[in-house]
Chain A
Amino acid sequence: MAETMLTLHESPVSPVVLQETLRELVIDASAPLTLTLTAPAQTACSLVVRIRRAEALTIQVRAEAASQLTLLYWNESSAPITIRESNEIYRDARFKAAYVQLNPGMVDHQSKTLLKESGAEALVQSAVIAQTRKQFVVDLIHQAGQTTGIMENYSIVLQGGRYRMEATGKIEKGARGAKSHQTSRALTFDAQQTATILPKLLIDENDVEASHATTIGQMDENQMYYLQSRGLSEDEAIRLVTIGYLLPIARISDDPKLQEALAQEIETKVNEVCLTSSK
């Protein structure tokens, strides 16, 4: 089966029914664009959504029963962008979404994922370099029992950057056996950086699992000492740790070529950052 790529320029866009052969979707729109994606029941699809140009994006995703859907949103634009995204995940569907925001443009991203039926699973990840204002509101809402929602947010905040992450895991009444876990970490380098992380767990049911972990701060002094004690300069140690900080997002894809490309992009961006920070 030949792999296909779809390029979207302007609204209205017909709803896209995902299929295994569709591997890449390019958004190059000069006006607000609404995108509707559906993964039919019992299908599997792994899609890169490459954002070349878009000022306002509305995305509606539906992962039907027992489907497996991986979406990697890779913002290649450096212009400001607003994203309003909602995902509905049905019985036994496995949904993974990753947001890669490494460029300097301002970002205002709201994401809401509803785990609507039992057995639904969602993994939502973000990798962000914040050189300007980048704000995220990410909600994972458990509306049924035996659902799993995991959120992992990693950011590097540079001089002049303002990073804000409101991360909410909500377990509604009746969602017994739900598991909601989230981790958010922000790494700061320099003065004039602001990072705010607001992790929330809203739980209205017993017999559930929920956790959150949050850290904001500079490089761990002991890690730096350890790396330097093996001969790495301070800049090289910072570079290694920083790449390692963002790299886990590349593993969301099972495509080795895509993983490599994303890893390369992260490395290039981090090298630029480390070069700048060391000056």
Chain B
Amino acid sequence: MSQLMIKNLHVEVEGKEILKGIDLTVADHEIHALMGPNGNGKSTLLAAIMGHPKYTVTSGTIEYDGRDVLAMSVDERSRAGLFLAMQYPQEVPGVTNSDFLRAAMNARRENPISLFSFIKEMEKTIKDLQMKPDLAHRFLNEGFSGGEKKRNEIVQMKMLKPSLAMLDEIDSGLDVDALKIVADAVTQMQQETGLGMIVVSHYERFYQLLKPTHAHVLINGRIVMEGDETLVQKIDQDGYDWLYQQLDLQPAKEEVKLTFTLGSCAASARGRKHG
């Protein structure tokens, strides 16, 4: 039985501590709702588990199936069974969905998947997610609507068959019908394979469809409350104010970001050593 075990995890981004001691255990068949106001560390936790280079783990441990996740590269984590459906999936011009997915599937197999089997599986998955048939030939996420990008994340999840999936606000940008399609696809996969899940969402509707077994509230970099689906319902009805009062917490101040745009014209560069 696979199990993700996080102990006392501290994570920094650009020198600022975001996560301040997270403990979390997720086993097969479990669906963990991860809730909390914006800017309190939910996405940071998922990105740190996946190994985003921008996030630095300063202390604590992450183990999956008894293996040290923090010692693995990003691709090794993926091949070990971890999957992160991202809030903002990257556009990769020039790389088609089918080339990318076939390469990703082959990366976790001893023998490459036959072209026939791949096409058959991809067509079925695209149909399940009710996406346009030309998805396979389009460049990865390029020119996709917000909803298409999110559904494409689930297409990848279904094709790559992880044993632990993390969904980071995968429901944002989806209309009511698409939300149902995604939830059905995720639920079906979860029931068939028993994969463990961590789900970040701001909407009870998505959680209603997925039926989480556990719920956690993350505020100021710490899990401050845990429960089951009833906690999700309470937060949907009452928001987070009662939690701030009950636990005597202060809401995190939102940083004001200033953006400057520099016009560019001629460009010249000398490359740096890769990696």
Q: Which residues of A contact B (CB under 8 A)?
A: 157, 186, 188-199, 214-223, 225-234, 236, 238, 240-241, 243-245, 247-248, 277
When chains A and B are docked, how far (Å) is the Cα of A219 from the Cα of B268? 16
Q: Is the CB of B268 within 8 A of A223?
A: no
Note all chain A residues with C-beta closer than 8 A to B50: 229
Question: Is B78's CB within 8 Å of the partner chain A?
Answer: yes
17 A-B residue pairs with CB within 8 Å: A189-B271, A192-B270, A196-B268, A198-B266, A215-B267, A225-B90, A228-B78, A229-B83, A230-B100, A231-B104, A231-B107, A231-B108, A231-B160, A232-B103, A234-B75, A234-B275, A243-B94
Whether A221 touches B75, Cβ cut-off 8 Å, given contacts A191-B273, A229-B84, is no
When chains A and B are docked, how far (Å) is the Cα of A150 from the Cα of B226? 58
Q: Is the CB of A225 within 8 A of B52?
A: yes
When chains A and B are docked, how far (Å) is the Cα of A192 from the Cα of B139? 31
Question: Is B176's CB within 8 Å of the partner chain A?
Answer: no
Determine the interface band of chain B, counting residues with CB < 8 A from chain A. 35 or more
Question: Is B231's CB within 8 Å of the partner chain A?
Answer: no
Q: Is the CB of B95 within 8 A of A228?
A: no
Q: Is the CB of B75 within 8 A of A233?
A: yes
When chains A and B are docked, how far (Å) is the Cα of A229 from the Cα of B265? 34
The list of the 8 closest CB pairs from A to B, nearest first, reads: A244-B94, A188-B271, A226-B90, A231-B78, A193-B271, A228-B74, A230-B104, A244-B95
Question: Is B89's CB within 8 Å of the partner chain A?
Answer: yes
Interface 1/0 per residue, B69-105 and A, CB below 8 Å: 0000111011100011010011011111001110110
When chains A and B are docked, how far (Å) is the Cα of A233 from the Cα of B75? 6
B89, B108, B269, most chain A CB atoms within 10 A? B269
Whether A232 touches B107, Cβ cut-off 8 Å, given contacts A196-B268, A214-B264, A223-B90, is yes
The answer, among B78, B95, B264, B270, for a CB contact under 8 Å with A229, is B78
Question: Is B227's CB within 8 Å of the partner chain A?
Answer: no
Q: A225-B53, A234-B275 given; name 17 further pairs at CB < 8 Å.
A: A191-B273, A192-B270, A194-B269, A195-B268, A197-B266, A216-B269, A218-B272, A226-B86, A226-B89, A230-B101, A232-B107, A234-B73, A236-B107, A240-B99, A244-B92, A244-B96, A244-B139
When chains A and B are docked, how far (Å) is the Cα of A216 from the Cα of B84? 30
Interchain nearest-CB distance for A139 vs B (Å): 16
Note all chain A residues with C-beta closer than 8 A to B139: 244
Note all chain B residues with C-beta closer than 8 A to A216: 267-269
Note all chain B residues with C-beta closer than 8 A to A220: 90
The answer, among A199, A217, A231, for a CB contact under 8 Å with B269, is A217
The answer, among A188, A192, A214, A228, for a CB contact under 8 Å with B266, is A214
Q: Is the CB of B89 within 8 A of A230?
A: no
When chains A and B are docked, how far (Å) is the Cα of A221 from the Cα of B51? 13
Interchain nearest-CB distance for A145 vs B (Å): 26
- Could you tell me which residues of chain B, from 9 to 41, have a CB within 8 Å of some CB in chain A? none
Question: Is B156's CB within 8 Å of the partner chain A?
Answer: yes
Q: Is the CB of B271 within 8 A of A199?
A: no
Q: Is the CB of B90 within 8 A of A240?
A: no
Note all chain B residues with C-beta closer than 8 A to A196: 266-268
When chains A and B are docked, how far (Å) is the Cα of A236 from the Cα of B105? 12
Whether A221 touches B53, Cβ cut-off 8 Å, given contacts A188-B269, A229-B84, is yes
Q: Is the CB of B92 within 8 A of A228?
A: no
Q: Is the CB of A199 within 8 A of B90?
A: no
Note all chain A residues with C-beta closer than 8 A to B96: 244
Note all chain A residues with C-beta closer than 8 A to B132: none
Question: Is B274's CB within 8 Å of the partner chain A?
Answer: yes
When chains A and B are docked, how far (Å) is the Cα of A233 from the Cα of B275? 13
Q: Which residue of A lies closest to B74 (CB)?
A: A228
Q: Is the CB of B78 within 8 A of A230?
A: yes
Q: Is the CB of A191 within 8 A of B272?
A: yes
Note all chain B residues with C-beta closer than 8 A to A157: 271
Q: Is the CB of A227 within 8 A of B265?
A: no
When chains A and B are docked, how far (Å) is the Cα of A231 from the Cα of B108? 7
Q: Which residue of B lies closest to A188 (CB)?
A: B271
Note all chain B residues with C-beta closer than 8 A to A227: 92, 95, 100, 104
Q: Is the CB of A223 within 8 A of B92?
A: yes
When chains A and B are docked, how far (Å) is the Cα of A226 from the Cα of B103? 13
A193, A197, A228, A240, most chain B CB atoms within 10 A? A228
Q: Which residue of B lies closest to A198 (CB)?
A: B266
Q: Which residue of B lies closest to A159 (CB)?
A: B271
Whether A226 touches B75, Cβ cut-off 8 Å, given contacts A189-B274, A218-B272, A240-B103, is no
Note all chain A residues with C-beta closer than 8 A to B156: 230
When chains A and B are docked, how far (Å) is the Cα of A226 from the Cα of B75? 10
Note all chain B residues with C-beta closer than 8 A to A215: 267
The answer, among A214, A223, A228, for a CB contact under 8 Å with B267, is A214
